[in-house]
Amino acid sequence: MSEVFEGYERQYREISAALSRKCAAASALDGEKKKQKLPEIQADVQESESLIRKMDLEARSMQPSVKAGLLAKLREYKSDLNNVKGEIKRLSAPNAQQATREELLESGMSDTLTASSDQRGRLMMTSERLNQSSDRIRESQRTVFETEEIGVSILQDLHNQRQSLLHAHTTLHGVDDYIGKSKKILASMSKRMDRNKWIVGGIIATLVLAILFILYFKFA
């Protein structure tokens, strides 16, 4: 319960107690003295009604669990105030039967207004719950959208990584081809070098034989 509501309630109880005392005192008076007392009592009634309205506004701004108890308490305060109003009508009316009839009519109207207020309060609570449910649904939808966006982003990243891996695989395959070609070229060069060695060896051997042959005929 808020401090504002407690302050209004404290003021109402003080005025309500004073009203009860003033009504009891006025009922013991006659004639002009009673009439002089009535404006003061009616002023307190108006102040009580103002405090009840303020408490009602404050109660409806609270959480539903707290609001229900406060509204029930306010209904009791309104009923007590209606009883005081009926007593004031009896005091101010010259005809007791007329006062009683007016009190019954006012009591019926009060019950109708109280029921209407209760229905309005239930409708407001239902509307508030629906609004809360709508907020939760919107929050769930927002979460789903965010999750979907994250999923799309992850899939896009995976696609990009796949493309990178395919490109790397293609590059490695090209490197393998170059390495194979290089091996073939080196093998061919090695064969040529071996063949050149044999040719050079044959030439050297031929030259050596020719020199030996020349020397043999020269010194023979």
Q: Structurally, how many domains does the chain consist of?
A: 1
Q: Is residue 7 part of a domain?
A: yes
Give the CATH number of the domain where residue 31 resides. 1.20.58.400
Residues of the domain holding 33: 3-92
Which pLDDT score, from 0 to 100, does residue 56 have? 92
Q: Is residue 70 part of a domain?
A: yes
Distance CA(187)–CA(210), nearest Å, equals 34
Q: Is residue 98 part of a domain?
A: no
* Buried b / exposed e along 53-84 (16+ C-beta atoms within 10 A): ebbbebbbebeeeebeebbeebeebbebbbeb
Which pLDDT score, from 0 to 100, does residue 103 have? 52
Q: Is residue 138 part of a domain?
A: no
124 contacts 61 by C-beta, under 8 angstroms: no
Which pLDDT score, from 0 to 100, does residue 96 have? 41
Q: Is residue 87 part of a domain?
A: yes
Q: Is residue 12 part of a domain?
A: yes
Q: Is residue 193 part of a domain?
A: no
Half-sphere exposure of 18 (CA within 13 A, CB side): 15
For the stretch 146-154, contacts whose Cβ atoms lie closer than 8 Å and that sit 24 or more positions apart, written own/partner, are: none
Query: Token pair of 155, please?
Result: 């899939």
Over its length of 220 residues, how does the chain's per-residue pLDDT go in tens digits? Answer: 578 888 888 999 998 888 888 888 887 777 777 777 788 888 888 998 999 999 899 888 888 888 888 888 899 989 988 988 888 888 776 544 444 455 556 555 555 655 566 677 677 767 777 777 777 888 877 887 688 888 777 888 888 888 888 888 888 877 778 788 888 888 888 888 888 889 988 899 899 888 888 888 888 7
Query: Token pair of 145, please?
Result: 């959208």
DSSP string covering 131-162? HHHHHHHHHHHHHHHHHHHHHHHHHHHHHHHH
107 contacts 82 by C-beta, under 8 angstroms: yes
Task: Kindly state the DSSP code that residue 4 receives in the 8-state scheme.
Answer: H
Q: Is residue 148 part of a domain?
A: no
